[in-house]
Structure 1
Amino acid sequence: MPDTTPPPQDRRSRHRFAWGRIAAPAVVALLALAGWEALIQLRGVPTYVAPAPTAVAEALVQQWPTLGPAWLVTVRTMALALAAAVAGGLLLAVAFSLSPLIELSLFPYAVALQVTPLVAMAPLLMLWIPQTQVVLLVCAWIVAFFPILASTTVGLRSADPGLRDLFDLYGATRWQRLWLLLTPTALPYFLTGLRTAVNLSLVGTVVAEFVTGASGKQSGLAAAVFEGQYRLDTPLMFAALGLIALTGIAGYFATHLLSRWLLAGWHESTL
C-alpha cells in the first residue's frame, strides 16, 4: 500500500500557509486600526462624527451590560433561523431529487420568496404574526433558506453518471442511492450553501430588527444602533456594528472549519 503521508517539507509549507492565513489579515487589521486612530487624533474629528478605535473599545466595555444581552438575542435568532433553513432546505432538496414533479411545482415559489425584498415582507408578517420574535425568525429564515436549497439541489444532481449506472446495475434502492451516492456528492455543495446562509441569517436578523423596531427584552443589536443614533452616541453605534461584523466573521470561519473537517482526506478542496 503506497505511503500517502506528505513529506516533511510539504508539512512545513502547509503549516506556514495556515499561520499566514491568520497573520496576514491580523496585520492588516492592526494597521487599519492604527491609521484610523492616528487620523482621528491628528484631524481632531469630534467623537459624535467618527470615534477613534479606543473610544469604540471603551464604549464596548462600558455598554456591555446592554450590548451583551442584545448580542445574545441576535445570535439566538440567527442560530434558530439557520437551523430551520438547513432542515427545510435539505428536506426540500431531497424531495426535489426524488420527484421532478415536486421540483417543477415548488421551485418557482422558492425563488419568488428569495427575491422579494425583506423590508417589504416584514410589515406584512407583523400584521399576521403577533409575536415579534417569531417575525424576526421568519425573516431571517427566508433569506437563509434559498442558498441551502439551491446548492444542495445542484449537488444531488451532480453524481457521476457512471456511478449511477453502477448503482442501477446492482439494483440499489432509491434510498440506498440517496444515502450512498447522492449524499456524499452533494455534501460539498451543501457546505458551500451553508457558508453563504450563515451570514445571510445574520443579515436577515439585523434587517428584521431594524424594520420591526424590536424593543424591550427581545431587542437585538439593531436596537443598540438605534439607541446610539437617538443619543448621538456614535461609539455605541460603532461598537454594535463591530459586534455584528465579528459575529459574521466567526460564523463564516466556523462553517469553513466544519467543511474542512467533513471533507478532509477525500475531497479535492482539502487535498
Structure 2
Amino acid sequence: MTKPLLSRPKFQRIAAPLVVGIILLLAWELAFRELNVPIYLVPKPSDIAQAFMQYGGMLFGSLWVTLKITLLAFALAILIGTLVSFLFVQSRVIEACFMPYAILFQVTPIVAIAPLIIIWIQNTTLALVVCAMLVAIFPVLTNTTMGLRSVNPGLLNLFQINKANRWQILMKLRVPNALPYFFSGLRISCGLALIGAVVAEFVAGTGGTSAGLAYQILQAGFQLNLPLMFAALFLITCTGLVLFIAMSMISTAFLRKWHESEMS
C-alpha cells in the first residue's frame, strides 16, 4: 500500500523545514510592520527582497568570487587531507610526529594568521584559498585517518595471511572502510571552506571588481545599508546549505547500495 504523501520521510525532510521557514518569515514581516522597526536597525524580509532586486547583479558577481575561493580551498583540503591521512595510516610514528601540528593549525584562529599569509603570498586569490584551506582541511584529515584505521582486525589478519602488500590492504580494505568517515568529513569541511573564504575576505579587505560577498557586507555596514547586508548574508547561508546538500547527495550515491548508514 502506498504511503500518503505527508507521511513519506523524504517529503517530511523537505516540506517541514520549508513550512517552518515560511511561517517564521511571515511572523518577522508582520511583527516588524506592526512595531514600525526602523530599516536601519533590522530590515523586513520585503526590504531584503527589494535589495536583491536592486543589487542582484552585484551580489551574484560577488558570490561567484567567494564561491570560486571556497571550491578551490575545498578541493585542496580534500587532496592534501586525504594524502596526509594515507601517510599517517602507514606509520603510527609519522602520525604521532605530525598530528599535533595539524591540531595546532586547527585551533589557531584564522583571523590571527590570515594577515601573515596575505603578506607572504603576493597573489590575493591564492592567499585567500590557502586561508580557507587551512580552516577546511582538519575534518577531512581526522575523519579519513579514523576510517582508515577502523578496519576489522579479522579482515586485516585475513589480508596479511594471504600476503597482501601495503598497497593492496590500503586500496581494497582500508579505503572502502573509510568512505563513510571520509564523506562525513566532507559534509563538515565544505561549510568550513566557505567560512574560511568569507573570514579571509574580511581580513584581506579586497575590493573593486574582484570583491567577494564579505566586501559587500563591509561596504553595506559602512553605509548602514542593512537590507543589502542581510541579502549578502542570505546568499552566504544558501551557498553553505547547497554545498552541504551536494555533499550529502554524493555520499548517498556512493554508500546507499552497501553501507547501513544510507541503505534505509
Separation of aligned partners in 1, 2:256 and 2:142: 24
2-structure distance, mates of 1:144, 1:135:
14
Flag structure 1 segments of 5+ consecutive residues without an equivalent: 1-7
Deviations along 1:230-265, one digit per CA (max 9) or x if unpaired, are 111110000000000000111111111111111012
- The partner residue of 1:143 within 117, 132, 135 is 135
Change in CA separation of 1:187 and 1:33 when aligned onto 2, cut-off 3 Å: same
SS in 2 for 1:63: helix
1:55 aligns with 2:47: yes
Match of 1:185 among 177, 180, 183: 177
Distance 1:13 1:247 in 2: 28
Distance 2:43 2:53 in 1: 15
Q: How does 1:97-108 map to 2 (within 5 A)?
A: 97-108=89-100
Q: Which residue of 2 aligns with 1:270?
A: 262
Which AA in structure 2 matches 1:165? Answer: N
Counterparts of 1:1-271 in structure 2, within 5 Å, are 16-271=8-263
Task: Name the SS for the 1:222 alignment partner.
Answer: helix
Tell me the SS of whatever aligns to 1:137.
Answer: helix
Q: 1:15 offset after TM fit, Å?
A: 7.7
* Identical counterparts, % of pairs: 44
Q: Which runs of no fewer than 5 residues in structure 2 stay unpaired?
A: none
- TM-score of the superposition, structure 1-length normalised? 0.94
Q: Distance in 2 between matches of 1:30 and 1:83?
A: 34
Cα distance between partner residues in 1 of 2:103 and 2:209:
34
The whole-number CA distance in structure 2 between the counterparts of 1:22 and 1:194 is 22
> Separation in 1 of the partners of 2:228 and 2:34?
22
AA matched with 1:77: I
> How much is the aligned-residue C-alpha RMSD, in angstroms?
1.5
